[in-house]
Amino acid sequence: MIKAISPCIKKCTLDKQNVCMGCFRSLDEIMEWSTSTEIEKENIVANALQRKETIVFREKG
């Protein structure tokens, strides 16, 4: 099993919904990362990627 790597890119800025505009994780997801299981981390990364696509699409719209 491959360990999930944090998507943090050290460009932390939260938007109005408490989503980091660097990694697209929610503040709760960021805070839970260190205690999350590998499966939970994979879900967090998947959620962040989906959130990123939604935000980028909305901005280009």
What's the confidence (pLDDT) of residue 56?
A: 75
Q: Using CB atoms within 10 Å of the CB of residue 56, give its burial: 0 to 12 exposed, 13 to 18 middle, 19+ buried.
A: exposed
What's the confidence (pLDDT) of residue 4?
A: 82
Structural contact between residues 49 and 41, judged by C-beta atoms closer than 8 angstroms: no
Phi, then psi, of 32 in degrees rounded to 5: -85, -15
What's the confidence (pLDDT) of residue 1?
A: 63
Query: Mean pLDDT, to the nearest integer, of 6-10?
Result: 93
Q: How many residues does the chain have?
A: 61
Structural contact between residues 28 and 20, judged by C-beta atoms closer than 8 angstroms: no
Q: What is the pLDDT of residues 23-59, one digit of tens each?
A: 999 999 999 999 999 999 999 999 999 999 998 777 7
What's the confidence (pLDDT) of residue 6?
A: 92
- The neighbour count for residue 39, using CB atoms within 10 Å, is 10
